[in-house]
Structures are given as C-alpha cells and as structure tokens.
Amino acid sequence: MLAVKYTLFAIISTLFNLFFQYLSFLVYLGPASLYIAMFFGTLAGLVAKYILDKKYIFYHTPKDKKDDAKKFMLYSFMGIFTTIIFWGTEITFDALLENPNAKYIGAVIGLSIGYIIKYFLDKKYVFIYKEKIIL
C-alpha cells in the first residue's frame, strides 16, 4: 500500500511540476525560458510532495513551525541530487528531440527516477524514527 500511495503522490507532484512549467511558458518564452519554467515547476512539485510525504508516507507531525521549517530544508537538500537528475533528463530530451513536448517526456522520466531515489534518502536522512528503548 505504501508503494501505491508514494506512486500516486509522485504523480500528483509531477503534475504540479508540469503545470507550473506550462504556466511559466505561457508567461515567458524568451532566453532561458526552459530553466525558468523548470525552477518554478520544481518549487511547486517540491512543496506538494513535501506536504504529502510528511503527512501520508512518513506520518511526521512537526513539533512546531521551526521544526517543520528544518524538516523542509533537509527535505529540499536531499532533493538537490534528484533535481539534477530530473533537470538533466529534461534538458537532454529538449536538446536532442525536435518535438516541443519532448521536454515534458524528459521531465516525467527524470522525476520518476528522482522520486524513487528520494524516497530512500528521505527515509534514511529526513524522517528518521528513533525507537525508544524500554529497560
């Protein structure tokens, strides 16, 4: 069931990402528009995925806003490597294929790979559960 939920949330976050990229292209198509769109898409997907993962995958309840901000920063930091994979794949598809939608196919592939890796990073480094030892 966890894999199904995580996959569903990855799809939702991917749709947020692609939608915000699409909106960005509607607003601006000048130099570096792909990079600007990827930036805004990444932010939208990151926030959506953090909220869903925190609450429904890792069942983390922050102690306060400061704790939540720390978790979000660590969650974002763990996403740097996976974002490089996602951006690299999207840029590669955009550069190599002449279809204007190729970038979106690259984004979906890159995000899929990234989300799989990110789950294990988040499980190990972000949402760490310490067992209580009762003597």
Q: How many domains does the chain have?
A: 1
CB burial class (10 A; 0-12, 13-18, 19+) of residue 11? middle
Q: Confidence class of residue 129 from pLDDT cuts 50, 70 and 90?
A: low
Residue 132 forms part of a structural domain: no
Q: Confidence class of residue 1 from pLDDT cuts 50, 70 and 90?
A: confident
Residue 126 has what pLDDT?
94
Domain holding 94, by residue range, is 2-126
What's this model's pTM, rounded to 2 decimal places? 0.87
Residue 11 has what pLDDT?
95
